Amino acid sequence: MSIGSNTKASAATDSARARLASELGLIAADWPDRPEKIRAYVSTRNMGCSEAPYGGWHGQLGLNLGAHVGDVLSDVQANRAKLNGVLPQPVIFPTQCHGILCVSTLGLEEKTQADAVWTNQPATVCGVLTADCLPLLICSLDGQYMAAVHAGWRGLAAGVVASAVQALRTAGAGELTVWLGPAISQAAFEVGDDVFHAFTDNIPGTQACFRYESSRQKYFADIFGLARVMLAQLDVQRVYGGDFCTYNDPENFYSFRREHSTGRMASLIWREA
């Protein structure tokens, strides 16, 4: 096959995947400086096989991708098979533990405990699962290095974003760009003193990301703003997204804070070969 026909075959494959992604209801990241060959998507709660409370909107079957939340395992496996149909290779989700470890996809297994995954290999998918926690998709401007990060408040405060950025830079990545996926918005993210002090006592510039309501004696945290502060301190200036609230959009997203027993969405990034 000639180089020209290789290019045509790659374009056809990419087009077919884009069509399947649309049929599965995946949301493409609105990422202005995403490199040409980088693909970045977030799944929704719809178009799957899971029943309530892991289902879709208005009693429809749901695309729950979390195998650890109490859903019927065969339904989760069917959902993951549907998802893998739009990916160049099956995605492996690590066991997320609200920590800071960022691991390579090389040798990654589902039992691997980590909250961020990176790669520099083409057609290799990095993915994390969330349902209110913040997913970050990161890549270098040349499209050679990428990572997916799961950042709940504990992992965010402990340094999971810095861990992922450092892993990419150590591997050889240059300037980075970041997209912030669906997470709970400040209006819905009520937290206590412990969360407030976990950030403000240790990370400069984070106090502005909290709003205090004296009537409730509670803070409301801006998880997107917290991530932006940390990224700026890591000299990562190209940060986009943060437009989707999981809590206030039950039609599209699972939310642990809203539903407690619920499914998980996937945030995914890869580079086409």
Cα–Cα dist 28/9, whole Å: 22
Check pLDDT > 60 for residue 9.
Answer: no
For 47-62, the pLDDT digits (tens) are 999 999 999 998 899 9
Query: Exposed, middle or buried by CB within 10 Å (0-12, 13-18, 19+), for 112?
Result: middle
Centre a 10 Å sphere on the Cβ of residue 7 and count the other Cβ atoms it contains. 10
Query: What pLDDT band is residue 207 in, cutting at 50, 70 and 90?
Result: very high
Centre a 10 Å sphere on the Cβ of residue 132 and count the other Cβ atoms it contains. 25
Distances (CA, A) of 31 to 112, 153, 238, 243, 270: 29, 24, 10, 12, 14
Distances (CA, A) of 257 to 134, 195, 250: 13, 15, 11
Cα–Cα dist 189/184, whole Å: 6
Numbers of helices and strands, H then E, in the chain: 7, 15
Q: Tell me what pLDDT residue 2 has.
A: 36
- Closest to 44 (Cα-Cα) out of 194, 251, 203, 221: 251
Query: What pLDDT band is residue 4 in, cutting at 50, 70 and 90?
Result: very low
Query: What pLDDT band is residue 11 in, cutting at 50, 70 and 90?
Result: low
- 171's CB contacts (< 8 A; 6+ apart) are 118, 120, 145
- Closest to 104 (Cα-Cα) out of 94, 95, 67, 83: 94
Distances (CA, A) of 216 to 156, 233, 249: 25, 32, 24
Q: What share of the chain has pLDDT > 90, as a percent?
A: 88
- pTM beyond 0.85, yes or no: yes
Query: What pLDDT band is residue 23 in, cutting at 50, 70 and 90?
Result: confident
Query: What pLDDT band is residue 221 in, cutting at 50, 70 and 90?
Result: very high
For 86-122, the pLDDT digits (tens) are 999 999 999 999 999 999 999 999 999 999 999 999 9
Q: Residues 109-138: what's their mean pLDDT?
A: 97
Q: Tell me what pLDDT residue 254 has.
A: 98
For 60-86, the pLDDT digits (tens) are 999 999 999 999 999 999 999 999 999
Cα–Cα dist 100/114, whole Å: 7
Domains of the chain: 3-271 (3.60.140.10)
Contact 160, 100 (CB under 8 A): yes
- Closest to 66 (Cα-Cα) out of 94, 87, 85, 25: 94
Lowest model confidence (mean pLDDT) among 17-31, 145-159, 192-206: 17-31
Q: Tell me what pLDDT residue 12 has.
A: 54
**What is the overall mean pLDDT for the chain?**
93
For 150-191, the pLDDT digits (tens) are 999 999 999 999 999 999 999 999 999 999 999 999 999 999
Cis peptide before 53 (omega within 30 of 0): yes
Q: Tell me what pLDDT residue 7 has.
A: 47
Cα–Cα dist 107/96, whole Å: 16
